[in-house]
Chains A and B, each alone.
Chain A
Amino acid sequence: MITVTHYIVLSAILFTLGVVGVLIRRNAIVVFMCIELMLNAVNLSFVAFAHYLHSMNGQLFVFFTMTVAAAEAAVGLAIIVAVFRNKETVNIDDINIMKW
């Protein structure tokens, strides 16, 4: 029998992998993809909770999260393209994100 714990553990694993990916990858697009992975992990936990709570709210929330993700993707990739045009790179080390 699959319980909510199974789903939450899976979601936690995926979320952690996403976080690790964000921290170790240098390519801005791949970093963004890892963020999408995190969002998906969260969405999975929302839907799992909604199912086991007999509630629809979680599914609605996921719908909105996806909408926001789409808007973010459009804007974020536009930003990445703008950076690339000026700098010919999407490597965040060259963009020096952790500068004090």
Chain B
Amino acid sequence: MEAYLFYIMAAVAVVSAVYLIFEKNPVYSILYLVMILISIAVLYLLLGAQFIAAVQIIVYAGAIMVLFLFVVMLLNLSAKEELKDALSFQKIPAIVMGIVLLSAIGIILRSKIPLGKQGEYTSAYVHDVGNTQLIGKLLFTKYLLPFEITSILLFIAAIGAIILAKRK
């Protein structure tokens, strides 16, 4: 059943991604991106990362994309769409590059992906302790420094938002 779920979600994500990059109306693009985000969140669940899955929905789909939506509506971009679409000379290299990148990755993946050193957090252990509990503990012990720096990062973002967007 998990295999089916993976394939369904992967298909949803890829199809939505294709629509996202060819969709003319930004409002629809946002909805496609939300679909991608949700399907990736389901994949996170399959991978046992429940907390990350929830944060993906809460932060990405529930906050960041809402901000995108607000900006698109604020600027009323949907009315006058991109008048001239992609320049043709850029389209070709882009597609070529896409193919090259994919095939390069594909060639490397042909050989079985070599995985690094195995860690101690097996699924069973994570299940016993609880995914969120473990994240909490690691965040506040091992990753204390980046955690505190994050608050400064958000401070910077707030300064940026205020100073760039607020009319004096």
Contacts and interface: CB of A to CB of B under 8 A. Distances in A.
A81 B19 CA distance: 25
Nearest to B146: A64
A68 B75 contact: no
B154 A20 contact: no
The dominant DSSP class at the B interface is helix
Q: Which of A15, A24, A52 has the most CB of B within 10 A?
A: A24
Contacts of B146: 64
Q: What class of interface size applies to chain B in its complex with A?
A: 35 or more
Interface string B113-133: 101111111110010000100
Contact of B164 (A37, A44, A73, A79): A79
Contacts of A23: 90, 93-94, 97
Contact of B101 (A19, A26, A90): A19
A51 B48 contact: yes
Contacts of B20: 17, 21, 30, 33-34, 37
B8 interface: no
A95 interface: no
Interface residues of A, number: 70
B49 A80 contact: no
B119 A81 contact: no
A92 to B, nearest CB: 10
A85 to B, nearest CB: 9
Interface of A: 1-2, 4-10, 12-21, 23-27, 29-30, 32-34, 36-37, 40, 43-44, 47-57, 59-60, 62-64, 66-75, 77-82, 84, 90-91, 93
Closest 10 CB pairs of A and B: A55-B119, A21-B21, A23-B94, A71-B157, A78-B164, A75-B160, A24-B86, A51-B47, A78-B165, A17-B17
Interface of B: 2-3, 6, 10, 13-14, 17-18, 20-21, 26, 29-30, 33, 36-37, 40, 43-44, 46-49, 51-52, 55-56, 59-60, 63-64, 67-68, 71-72, 74-75, 77, 82-87, 90-91, 93-95, 97-98, 101-102, 105-106, 109, 112-113, 115-123, 126, 131, 134-135, 138-139, 142-143, 146, 150, 153-154, 156-158, 160-161, 164-165
26 contacts: A5-B109, A9-B106, A17-B18, A17-B21, A18-B17, A19-B97, A20-B95, A26-B86, A27-B26, A29-B72, A29-B77, A43-B40, A43-B52, A47-B44, A49-B115, A50-B49, A51-B47, A54-B119, A54-B122, A56-B135, A56-B138, A63-B135, A71-B157, A75-B164, A77-B67, A81-B71
